[in-house]
Amino acid sequence: MSYDIPDEVKYREKIVFGLDLRQLLYSCLFGILAYLSYSLPLEGQAKLVLPSTLCIIGVGFAFLNLEEKALDLAHYYLGVQKAGNFEPQAQKLVGIRSIENNQITLMDGSLRAILQVEPINFSLLDEGQKAAFVSNYREFLNHLPTPVQILVRTEKSDAEEVFKRMQENMEGASREVTALFRDFFDFESEFLDKQSLRKRKYYLIVAQPAGSQGQSQLEQRAKIMQEKLASCGLRSEMLGTERLLRFFSTYSIHGYWEESNGG
């Protein structure tokens, strides 16, 4: 069995004593600092505290990737830790300029559309159906006009949206049926909360570079993607503006509908 070799393989050339350039620079830098600190006019055990501390920090930077951890901490404390959906800090962090006309406009002017794809249970297909699905999906991937992103999200199961759609079909029902329906809804909601049940949702993100005809071209690309997915037996739906707002508001502590309604 053959395996593809990644295009980018990290390789650091060893220069001296088994150290690469980065490790050698950190070792020399903290070694010099430790030597200079030892020359300070201190007496007793205090004379060894600062050089020892610098040596330990140098080892951390050279061998324990302390540099990356320090940068992560700096980005965390200097970055945005709390912001509402409509605040400029949040929009800059996410990189979204606007969401309208069923499309997402990023800061660089490029556009995005999101397709929600309904999965199928591959294990329940027979061998012929599995072979056909794999072949069609391979053709779908090989003929993609532009790069796409496949996103899988695990979300808390919410029965409220389902029951709301069912409730629309119960107009004119008797009081007893309505009460029974409400009791069943309360039971299901409480059961889902206690069991912490989760569901997975699958999305395909379609991209369009910035341009004068970007909006219409993005719609065409999204429709082509939906047709190709349908040939694989996968149903898909393009998220509208309101659903896109809901989609991104779930990444925030404050929901979009709370802020938009003054909550």
Output the pLDDT for position 253: 55
Instruction: Output the six-digit token pair for 116.
Output: 């929600």
Please give the pLDDT value at position 212.
61
- The stretches in the chain having pLDDT less than 50 are 1-2, 7, 255-259, 261-263
Residue 135 in contact with residue 228, Cβ under 8 Å? no
| Crossing angle (nearest 10°) for helices 46-63 and 66-78 | 90
Contacts for 177 with CB less than 8 Å, ≥ 6 apart: 170
Token pair 């695990």 is found at 154
**In the prediction, which pLDDT does 4 show?**
52
Between CA 59 and CA 18 the distance in angstroms is 14
| pLDDT at site 196 | 65
**pLDDT given for residue 1 in this prediction:** 42
**CB-based contact 165:197 (threshold 8 Å):** no
Closest residue by Cα to residue 120 from 108, 111, 132, 103: 132
Residue 231's closest CA among 145, 133, 126? Answer: 133
Positions of E strands within the chain = 14-16, 19-20, 96-100, 103-106, 111-117, 148-156, 198-208, 236-238
Q: Which amino acid is it at 107?
A: M
CB neighbours of residue 119 within 10 Å? 11
Tell me, what's the pLDDT at 160? Answer: 63
**What is the model's pLDDT at position 176?**
82
Contact 203, 153 (CB under 8 A): yes
- Distance between CA atoms of 31 and 101, rounded to whole angstroms? 60
What's the pLDDT at 56?
93
pLDDT tens digits for range 183-224 = 887 887 777 677 666 778 999 999 998 876 767 889 999 998
Long-range contacts of 60-68 (CB under 8 A, 24+ apart): 61/26, 61/30, 62/19, 62/22, 62/23, 62/26, 62/27, 62/30, 63/23
Q: What is the pLDDT of residue 103?
A: 93
pLDDT for res 158? 63
Q: 97 near 91, Cβ under 8 Å?
A: yes
Predicted confidence (pLDDT) per residue in 122-138, tens digit: 888 899 999 999 999 89
Predicted pLDDT of residue 205: 94
Contact, 111 vs 104, CB < 8 A? yes
pLDDT of residue 244: 92
Residue 183: burial class (beta carbons within 10 Å; 0-12, 13-18, 19+): exposed
